[in-house]
Structures are given as structure tokens and as C-alpha cells.
């Protein structure tokens, strides 16, 4: 057993059973491991005196009727969850001996009636020394049963007698059981809610199952393809609260040399490895102390064949908040995973949360916010409101390329919590050296190899972040795969035989446990961002399933910690994302909240009732921000959702019209958008307008940043419209917003094997000229990174790594005469054989004009005209100053009435 459970975490649920007749206390332990043990399919077994037949009540009182073997006078005194981290054979050996009632025992010591030491005393067969592991749980009164009164099964609508219905071919995407009668758990305001949740059709589910398997598929637990070696060193105690004690066993290295290193605080890079010959644990302590002094919570060890990250808690930060009021907050974001996809890909995590809901011995529940709405398909657009309360992002239509996004505003949320005595942590699994940047430095882009640690630090120190956890562990791990980011591939990212994400989960659990056990530590708010789901397959995220399930179980048994697990948006890079239902999932993220009974009691009845109610209300990360910011208000909790977000009841009539959504976003409310047929003739003028606007933007960015050594045209070629699909329209007053997928191709000099796809949103309406409100690249564009013009935004660029074979004149003439949306472009000379008017007509409804200047000098062209029953894209007259070898979109229009409408159009070249 010891070998099997090494490197796993263990959860003991310890019950203190008091016998009122004898005055003695019995200790009963229920063990929940993270894997199947000794063939037990449930992954659970009992240890010590707990009977497998017992089901313990959730409230204090007699237990004889539940467990007759205990005695008729037995009563539950307290219920204490404890997490043991079994990272070596010795600790595993302890559990083995306890189970066999030999050579070890669990002891409990009450301190002053409010604190508890739980210790394991054992004799190590390897070292022949007596060792003691002790865990202090402060204020065990926080685990008393009165905390759970508020979270009753009826109040939470758990439907314990219900079922998980078979919805095949679709997934049942709820954590709670469905009632036997469909309407028996629905409240009146749920029935009258204005927003009705979209449900996928059986056909769309069958299509999704082709990509991701059907609901009955039960995948095996994911394991790394590389071996998991025993750790060289581990933390055995942190009694000093400043520097932990370590226990090391170099026999795992088979006699090879052991080396150690850390991150260099001056460069941000892993420093040179230092050999330890002979090995000395004091050198490990010395290196760990240097790392802690410099703000890092880990060091690296290696010997022949493998490396280890040795992590430890950061330096203690003193609290300024009374103990009884402290609530730790963990926020975990899983990038690019839709709600439905979570139920497809994360089945163990789903099971773990259902167990938390229905297992009465777990002092917590899970809230499931089914209407959580994505603001945008971009991470920053969804996470910025969470931190700062700001929903506006970059102006995507600048004539220069942004090298960084507007800040997340980490300092707003974290600054508020630090004022209330908290310590803060921000972890992400990206490497700061990556040319795309990371979240901490606002995705600041830079050329490869030009990242500067000092610049990175200048940005980061403004965030009010105390700890960065294992963030800077990422670079070494990714470098092992020849990468600086985890985007797209490989299919697994492992370190010493464990999935990358597991280390981050362990560190959060380590830190929250240390804070819970240390009365002199400030409470914690932490943020963790995982990019495992950021792939074109949508399946890699399952690597995180088992680690997340274990983490959720641990957090459910931490009485002082509120854990919020959410995604920013659905998958953007999979083939399924381009389907109609895939587009719905794109803006349908998930949000779950692990709510321990004691945290619920601290939040209070009003906030908890609001949270339960808001599981069926539509909201965004902005509402979550407002809730978190209002947590420490000295006044009575606000009942106004505009002030307190989801800590106040959101009205039943709320819809997406009340939310700060991006123009491209799809609403989770059924029927909010109207659809139109693909390549609709009535929409084609808007498609032409969108392509023309994007082309002008590409050209403007290139010309604006042109150097003396460059010429026009650049490498990033003009987009040629091919088709448009997934059309959605929504009305707001007299105006409309039309969104669609724009499929484009390019000149033959750029051979494409498939369409490039942009998602665009165009506003238009009576008396309002069209405007491109937003665009996003759906197809993968990193493949063009090496050939793109540096002054052009990569997400706009299509280019070839090979030089053009034709001369500029021939190439430009081919470009301006290309077919667009299936119609031929008519080219007319309007000045000197080098200024050309380009005209296209579609279906007798749409008319398009562009102009090309192929002269060696700049030209100014004026366009005039009048329209009658024609909607046009721009007011006339207009003037265009055209640089040599440039093409400009002028205008598009659509007839309102076939017989009576016309557009009179004139051009003249001024100079």
C-alpha cells in the first residue's frame, strides 16, 4: 500500500465521540484518498474504529442508532477535517500501521477548549527514529454543527431523493439531482424569470460527441507518460513559521550527485546549479532561506534522471482582522472551458462536487451558478471586471499595434483586501519570458529574448501582490518541452511524473492550511489561472480533472475558506468552437462555489440566501467583483445587487440587455438573438463593409509604422471575403447589432489549406451608418508569426514565409481584380492608367466600391453621390489620400426597394 499511495494527499474526517456514561472520548477517522485503494472502487476506506456500516448524523446528538457498536451513550462532540500530505513512504507506512492497529496511533490534545493538536506518532522503519507530525486546528468551534443549519437540503434544493437523469445524447449539466416531479423544486420567481436558459438540441449534442465522446464515456485517470520519482527532500514541519524543517533521503538518487538551485532574483532566471558533494541538508535550508528572503517559495533539486521542486510556505504576514471574522478566499480560473465542456471533460471533479453536496459528513456545500455569462471571448475582458470593476478594454481599431493590454486592475481588488488585513497571492502557469507576456504584466509583448526582468518587476510591484507562489516555477517546466508557454500543445505538461497543475493546487492547499493552523497569520485571498484548456483539441484539460477533484475535496473540509472555481469563456481554438452550438458555449463559462458551513455562518443569512437564489440568475464577473468588494463593509450587508453583486438578490427580470457584454457575445438567455440564413443577400453589404474595414486597418497599421527600408505593400496581404455564417442579430431601440463569422481567403501567393475566420460585430440602423464594433480571429494565427509585418497586429495578418515571385505591379493588379464573396470585381481606370475604381455587385441588391492607387506618387480622390432608398455604409462626400500601391474600401450599400432605389456615385482625382 505504501508504494501505491506515495505522493498522494489524504483527507481524514475525525469525529470526537463522547460517552456520557464513562466520560471517555473515542476517536473515529474516516479516510478519503485520491485514488482507488486496494481495489476499493469508491476510493474510500475506513481506518481505526470506524465501522463501514455507519452513517453519521450531521448534527450533534446520539449516534447509537446509526452505529450500535459505539455504545448507547455516545454523542458527537466535534467533527474535524484534517488534510495529511503523504509525500513519502514513512507517512504512508503510518497509515498502513494505523489500519492494521499496529505501531502507530492518532492522538488529540485539547488546548484551552478552543484549539486542537492532532498528532501522529510513529517509528520509522527506515531511520529507526521516533518522529511526530502535528497539525494545529485553531478555534475548532468553527466546525460546530450549528454552522450547517443554514445550508439545509431543502434550502439548497438538493432533491436528495431525486436522480441524475439520462439526457443522452446530451449531458446532464447540473450538480444537483433532478426532482422526481419536474416543477417540485422550482420557486415562483424561477418560473417567472425573464431569462430562460438555452438548451442544446439533440442534434447539436450528437455533433459535440463526435469531438468529445458521449455522456456514458468514462475515461481512465490521466497519468503522465514519465515516471514519478520519490522526492529527495520534503517539508516535515514549519514550527518556526519563518523557515521550515526538511527531511531528505538521497538514496532515491542511487548514489548520483545531488544539485540545488533557485530563481535568481536579479534576472528572473534559474540560477546555476550548485552540486552538494557530500549532500548536506543544511545547504538545502540555506538555499531555501535565500529564496524566501528574495520572495520565492521554492527551490529546485536534481540528481541523475529527474528534478524536484521543493515548495514551502512564504514568510508569515501578520493579521489585522479578528480571528472569528476571517474568511480565506481562493479564486481558481480554468481558461477556455465552457460549462457544458466541464461536465464532459472533468467528470471526477463533477463527482467530487456532488459528493460534497450529498455527503452529510462533509461540512460544506457547492453552489452552481448555471447562468454565469461570459462578457467576451477574451480572457482579459472577463477577468478585468473581476479585479477592477472595469469592463472597457482596448480600442481594437487603433492604427498602431498595442504591445500590452489595459491592466487587469489587480491592485483594486487586492488593495481593498490588504486594507482589511489580508495577504494576497497571484499564481499563473505562464512563463514571464514568453514573447506574448503573461497576465501579471498585462500580456506585454516583446521580441523573443528581449524580455527584461526589471521591466516585468516594475509592472508587477504595482499589483498589491504579496506572494507569487509557483508562478516562476513555470519557466523551467516549460523549457523542458522547448517552450515558453503552454498554448496549444504538448498534450501533457508534466514535471517529475506529475501533471503541472497538481503542483499549483498543492501550493494553494499548503498555504491555506498553514494560514488556518497559524493564529498569527493574516487571512488570504488568492488567484490561480490555468491555461491547460487553451488547446485546439479541448481534451487536454482532463489532465487537471483529478488534481482539481482532490483540491475541491480539501477545500470543502477547510472551515475558513471560500473557494470559487470558474472559467473565463468556452473554447476558442477547437474545431467544435466554429459550430453554432460551439459559439453558444463560447460565452457560457462555469462558476462553482465551495461554501463551507462555517463560512456560510460568517457571511450571514442574507448573503447566503442571495447566493442560493442567484444560482438561477444571469450575471458576469462584474457582479462577482462587487460581491467581493462588499464583503468587508462595516455597514449592514447591502440588499442592492448594484452595490453588492451576487451577495444581494439579482432581480428575476434581468437579461443580457442589462449586462456589459461585448458586441460579439451570445446571450445565455434563449431567444435573445435572431438568426439569419448563411450568406444572406440582405447581410452581404455588411460583410463587405467588415472585410473592407479590416483591410483598411491592416494597411493603415503597416503604413503608419513604415520604415525607410520598407515598401508598400507589406507581407500581410488583403483579406478576400469568401462567405459568412452564424449570423445573429439583436435590436436595441432603432439600432441593430449583427454578428457573423467572416470566412476569408487571400491572394494565391499565400497558399491556404483552409479558410481564415474572423468573428465580427457590426452596428447599424435607421439613420445610423454601420460601424465595426468588434472583431476577433477564430482561426489560429500564430502560424503567421514569422512572416508578419511587425507593425501589424498578428491577429489581422495572413502572410507567406516565401517571397512573392511576381513584381509589385503584377501582384497589385491581381489583388484588385480578385473575386470577393463569389462576385467578380470590375476594374475601371479613372486617372492616368494607375488610379482604378473597383466595383462589385451581389444579387442585384448590394453594390460595393473600392479604389486603388498604383501610381508612384500619393493621390487624393474625392467621392460624391446621392442615394435613394439605399442603405449605405458611409456618408458622402468623402476624400481619401491614397499612398502608392494602396487599396481603400470606399462604400457599400443595399437596396431597400428593388424597383425604386438607386445610388448615384461620382469620383474625381484632385491631385
Task: Write the DSSP string, 149-179.
Answer: SSS-TTTTT--TT-B----TTS----SSPBP
Q: How far apart are CA 661 and CA 450, in angstroms?
A: 36
242 or 682: which leads in pLDDT: 682
Tens of pLDDT, residues 519-556: 888 999 999 999 999 998 999 999 999 999 999 999 99
- pLDDT band at residue 193, thresholds of 50, 70 and 90? confident
Instruction: Provide the pLDDT for residue 339.
Output: 97
Q: What is the mean pLDDT of residues 730-748?
A: 90
Radius of gyration of the chain (CA): 31
- Mean pLDDT score, 755-780: 91
Q: Bigger pLDDT: 445 or 860?
A: 860
> Residue 623 pLDDT more than 90?
yes
pLDDT band, very low/low/confident/very high, at 902 (cuts 50, 70, 90): confident
d(C-alpha 760, C-alpha 768), whole Å: 18
Closest C-alpha among 814, 850, 809, 811 to residue 833: 809
CA distances (Å), 623 to each of 218, 248, 646, 669, in order? Answer: 36, 48, 6, 17
CB 76 within 8 A of CB 56: yes
pLDDT at 188: 58
Which is more confidently placed, 302 or 242?
A: 302
Q: What Å distances lie between residue 29 and 82, 513, 575, 892, CA to CA? A: 10, 19, 48, 74
- Predicted local distance difference test score (pLDDT) of residue 707: 78
Per-residue pLDDT tens over the stretch 646-662: 999 999 999 998 999 98
Q: Which residues pair with 83 in a beta bridge?
A: 11
CA 729 to CA 678: how far, in whole Å?
13
Torsion of CA 637, 642, 648, 651, to 10 degrees: 150
By DSSP bridging, strand 835-842 and strand 233-237 are unpaired
Closest CA to 222 of 32, 502, 430: 502
pLDDT at 692: 97
Distance CA 260, CA 254 (A): 17
Enumerate residues 6+ apart whose C-beta is below 8 A from 41: none
Put the strands of the sheet holding 826-831 in their side by side order: 826-831, 835-842, 846-853, 886-895, 870-872
Q: Residues 809, 853: contact at Cβ < 8 Å?
A: no
pLDDT at position 450 over 70: no
Give the residues across from 891 on adjacent strands.
Answer: 849
Per-position DSSP letters for 532-566, written without gaps between them: TT-SSSS-GGGGGHHHHHHHHHHHHT-TTEEEEEE
Residues in the chain: 911
What pLDDT does residue 18 have?
54
Pairwise CA distance, residues 360 & 54, whole Å: 12
Q: Which three cell numbers stand for residue 594?
A: 465551495
CB atoms within 10 A of CB 275: 9
DSSP string for 820-888: BTTBPPEEEEEETTTEEEEEEEETTTEEEEEEEE-SSS-EEEEEEEEEESEEESS-SSEEEEE-TTEEE
Instruction: Compute the distance between CA of residue 873 and CA of residue 466 in angstroms, rounded to an integer.
Output: 52
Give CA–CA dist 696/718, Å, rounded: 9
- Return the half-sphere exposure (C-beta side, CA atoms, 13 A cut-off) of residue 587: 24
- For 404-449, how does the pLDDT look when each residue is reduced to its tens digit (9 = 90+)? 678 899 999 999 999 999 999 999 999 998 877 889 888 776 655 5
In the predicted structure, residue 743 carries a pLDDT above the cut 70: yes
Peptide bond into 713 cis (omega under 30): yes
Cell numbers given for 647: 451577495
Instruction: Determine how many CB atoms are found less than 10 A away from the CB of residue 692.
Output: 26
The pLDDT of residue 154 is 92
Q: What is the sign, positive or negative, of the torsion defined by CA atoms of 132, 135, 141, 145?
A: negative
pLDDT of residue 225: 92
Asked: is 155-179+193-224+314-393+402-649 a CATH 3.40.50.300 domain? The reply is no
Q: How far is CA 901 from its chain centroid?
A: 51
Predicted local confidence at residue 821, as pLDDT: 96
Could you identify the residue written with the cell 534576472?
A: 267
pLDDT one-digit tens code per residue, 245-271? 899 999 999 999 999 999 999 999 999
Q: Which three cell numbers stand for residue 392?
A: 472597457
Average pLDDT along the chain? 83
Half-sphere exposure of residue 307, counting CA atoms within 13 Å on the CB side?
Answer: 15
Residue 426, beta-bridge partner list = 527
Least confident of 18-32, 112-126, 216-230, 804-818: 112-126
Angstrom distances, CA of residue 317 to CA of 314, 323, 559: 9, 14, 21
> CA of 543: how far to CAs of 225, 228, 252, 254, 552, in Å?
12, 15, 27, 30, 15
Residue 50: CA atoms inside 13 Å, Cβ hemisphere, count? 21
Beta-carbon contacts of residue 303 (< 8 Å; ≥ 6 apart) = 232, 250, 252, 253, 254, 256, 257, 258, 259
Look-up of cell digits 424561477: 190
Long-range CB contact pairs, 450-453, < 8 A, 24+: 453/266, 453/267, 453/268, 453/269
Residue 734: what pLDDT? 78
* pLDDT tens-digit series, residues 313-339: 998 898 776 655 789 999 999 999 999
The C-alpha angle 130, 136, 141, rounded to 5 degrees, equals 145
The pLDDT assigned to 219 comes to 81
> What distances in angstroms separate CA 671 from CA 37, 196, 606, one per listed residue?
49, 8, 32
Give the position of cell 446621392. 866
Q: Where in the chain is the domain with CATH 3.40.720.10?
A: 155-179+193-224+314-393+402-649
> Whole-prediction pTM value?
0.79
Element (H, E) at 17: strand 8-19
Rounded Cα–Cα distance for residues 112 and 127 (Å): 35
Do 421 and 523 touch, CB atoms closer than 8 A?
Answer: yes
Provide the pLDDT confidence category of residue 397 given band limits of 50, 70 and 90.
low
Tell me if 133 sits within 8 A of 237, measured CB to CB.
yes
Cα separation, 667 vs 750, whole angstroms: 36
780 touches 488 (CB < 8 A): yes
Q: Which residue has the higher pLDDT, 663 or 241?
A: 663
The candidate with the shortest Cα–Cα distance to 496, out of 312, 313, 305, is 305
Amino acid at each position: 500500500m505504501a508504494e501505491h499511495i506515495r505522493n498522494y494527499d489524504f483527507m481524514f474526517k475525525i469525529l470526537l465521540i463522547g460517552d456520557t456514561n464513562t466520560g471517555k472520548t473515542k476517536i473515529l477517522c474516516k479516510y478519503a484518498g485520491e485514488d482507488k485503494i486496494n481495489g476499493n472502487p469508491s476510493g474510500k476506506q475506513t481506518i481505526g474504529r470506524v465501522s463501514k456500516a455507519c452513517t453519521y448524523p450531521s448534527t450533534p446528538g446520539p449516534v447509537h442508532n446509526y452505529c450500535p457498536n459505539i455504545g448507547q451513550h455516545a454523542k458527537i462532540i466535534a467533527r474535524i477535517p484534517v488534510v495529511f500530505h503523504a509525500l513519502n513512504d514513512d507517512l504512508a507506512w503510518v497509515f498502513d500501521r494505523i489500519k492494521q492497529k499496529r505501531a502507530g496511533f492518532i492522538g488529540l490534545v485539547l488546548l484551552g477548549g478552543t484549539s486542537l493538536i492532532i498528532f501522529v506518532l510513529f517509528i520509522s522503519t527506515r531511520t529507526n527514529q521516533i518522529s511526530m507530525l502535528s497539525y494545529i486546528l485553531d478555534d475548532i468551534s468553527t466546525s460546530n454543527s450549528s454552522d450547517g443549519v443554514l445550508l439545509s437540503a431543502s434550502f439548497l434544493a438538493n432533491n436528495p431523493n431525486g436522480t441524475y437523469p439520462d439526457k443522452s445524447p446530451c449531458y446532464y449539466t447540473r450538480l444537483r439531482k433532478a426532482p422526481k416531479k419536474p416543477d417540485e423544486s422550482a420557486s415562483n420567481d424561477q418560473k417567472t424569470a425573464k431569462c430562460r436558459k438555452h438548451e442544446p438540441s439533440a442534434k447539436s449534442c450528437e455533433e459535440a460527441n463526435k469531438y468529445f465522446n458521449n455522456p456514458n464515456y468514462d475515461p481512465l485517470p490521466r497519468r503522465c507518460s514519465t515516471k514519478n520519482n520519490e522526492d529527495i527532500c520534503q517539508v516535515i514541519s514549519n514550527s518556526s513559521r519563518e523557515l521550515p524543517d526538511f527531511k531528505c533521503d538521497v538514496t532515491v538518487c542511487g548514489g548520483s550527485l545531488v544539485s540545488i538551485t533557485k530563481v535568481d532574483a536579479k534576472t528572473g532566471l534559474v540560477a546555476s546549479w550548485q552540486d552538494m558533494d557530500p549532500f548536506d541538508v543544511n545547504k538545502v535550508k540555506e538555499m531555501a532561506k535565500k529564496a524566501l528572503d528574495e520572495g520565492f517559495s521554492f527551490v529546485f533539486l536534481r540528481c541523475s534522471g529527474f528534478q524536484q521542486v521543493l515548495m514551502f510556505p512564504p514568510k508569515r504576514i501578520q493579521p489585522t482582522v479578528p480571528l472569528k471574522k476571517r474568511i480565506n478566499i481562493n479564486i481558481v480560473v480554468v481558461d477556455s472551458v465552457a460549462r457544458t465542456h466541464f461536465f464532459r471533460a472533468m467528470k471526477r471533479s463533477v463527482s467530487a462536487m456532488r459528493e460534497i453536496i450529498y455527503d452529510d459528513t462533509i461540512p460544506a456545500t457547492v453552489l452552481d451558478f448555471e447562468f454565469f455569462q461570459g462578457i467576451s471571448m477574451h480572457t482579459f475582458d472577463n477577468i478585468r471586471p473581476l479585479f477592477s470593476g472595469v469592463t472597457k478594454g482596448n480600442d481594437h481599431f487603433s492604427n498602431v499595434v498595442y504591445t500590452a493590454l489595459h491592466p487587469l486592475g489587480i491592485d483594486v481588488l487586492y488593495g481593498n483586501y490588504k486594507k482589511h488585513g489580508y495577504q494576497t497571492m497571484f499564481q499563473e502557469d505562464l512563463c514571464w519570458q514568453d514573447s506574448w507576456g503573461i497576465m501579471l504584466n498585462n500580456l506585454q509583448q516583446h521580441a523573443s529574448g528581449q524580455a527584461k526582468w526589471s521591466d516585468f518587476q516594475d509592472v508587477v510591484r504595482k499589483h498589491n501582490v504579496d506572494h507569487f507562489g509557483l508562478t516562476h516555477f513555470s519557466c523551467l517546466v516549460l523549457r523542458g518541452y522547448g517552450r515558453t508557454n503552454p498554448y496549444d500543445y504538448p498534450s501533457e505538461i508534466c514535471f517529475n511524473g506529475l501533471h503541472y497543475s497538481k503542483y499549483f493546487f498543492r501550493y494553494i492547499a499548503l498555504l491555506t492550511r498553514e494560514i488556518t493552523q497559524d493564529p498569527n497569520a493574516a487571512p488570504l485571498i488568492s488567484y490561480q489561472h490555468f491555461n491547460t484548456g487553451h488547446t485546439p483539441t479541448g481534451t487536454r484539460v482532463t489532465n487537471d480533472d483529478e488534481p482539481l477533484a482532490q483540491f475541491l475535496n480539501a477545500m470543502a473540509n477547510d472551515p475558513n475558506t471560500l473557494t470559487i472555481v470558474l472559467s473565463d469563456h468556452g473554447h476558442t481554438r477547437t474545431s467544435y468552437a466554429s459550430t453554432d452550438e460551439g459559439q453558444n458555449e463560447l460565452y457560457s463559462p462555469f462558476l462553482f462555489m465551495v461554501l463551507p458551513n462555517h463560512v456560510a455562518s460568517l457571511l450571514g443569512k442574507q448573503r447566503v440566501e442571495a447566493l442560493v437564489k442567484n444560482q438561477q440568475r444571469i450575471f458576469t464577473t462584474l457582479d462577482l467583483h462587487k460581491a467581493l468588494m462588499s464583503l468587508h463593509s462595516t455597514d449592514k450587508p447591502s440588499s442592492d445587487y448594484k452595490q453588492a453583486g451576487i451577495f444581494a438578490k439579482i432581480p428575476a427580470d434581468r437579461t443580457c440587455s442589462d449586462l456589459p457584454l461585448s458586441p460579439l457575445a451570445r446571450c445565455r438567455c434563449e431567444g435573445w438573438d435572431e438568426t439569419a440564413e448563411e450568406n444572406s443577400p440582405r447581410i452581404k453589404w455588411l460583410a463587405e463593409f467588415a472585410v473592407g474595414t479590416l483591410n483598411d486597418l491592416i494597411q493603415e497599421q503597416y503604413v503608419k509604422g513604415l520604415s525607410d527600408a520598407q515598401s508598400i505593400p507589406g507581407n500581410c496581404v488583403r483579406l478576400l471575403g469568401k462567405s459568412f455564417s452564424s449570423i445573429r442579430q439583436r435590436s436595441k431601440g432603432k439600432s441593430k447589432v449583427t454578428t457573423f463569422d467572416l470566412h476569408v481567403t487571400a491572394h494565391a501567393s499565400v497558399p491556404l489549406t483552409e479558410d481564415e475566420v474572423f468573428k465580427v460585430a457590426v452596428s447599424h440602423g435607421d439613420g445610423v451608418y454601420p460601424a465595426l464594433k468588434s472583431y476577433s480571429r477564430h482561426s489560429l494565427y500564430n502560424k503567421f508569426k514569422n512572416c508578419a509585418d511587425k507593425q501589424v497586429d498578428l491577429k489581422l495578418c495572413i502572410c507567406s514565409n516565401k517571397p512573392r515571385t511576381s513584381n509589385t505591379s503584377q501582384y497589385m493588379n491581381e489583388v484588385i481584380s480578385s473575386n470577393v464573396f463569389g462576385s467578380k470585381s470590375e476594374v475601371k481606370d479613372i486617372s492616368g492608367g494607375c488610379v482604378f475604381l473597383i466595383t462589385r455587385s451581389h444579387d442585384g441588391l448590394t453594390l460595393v466600391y473600392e479604389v486603388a492607387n498604383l501610381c508612384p506618387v500619393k493621390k487624393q480622390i474625392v467621392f460624391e453621390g446621392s442615394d435613394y432608398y439605399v442603405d449605405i455604409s458611409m456618408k458622402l462626400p468623402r476624400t481619401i489620400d491614397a499612398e502608392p500601391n494602396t487599396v481603400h474600401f470606399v462604400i457599400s450599400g443595399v437596396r431597400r426597394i428593388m424597383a425604386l432605389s438607386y445610388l448615384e456615385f461620382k469620383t474625381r482625382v484632385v491631385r
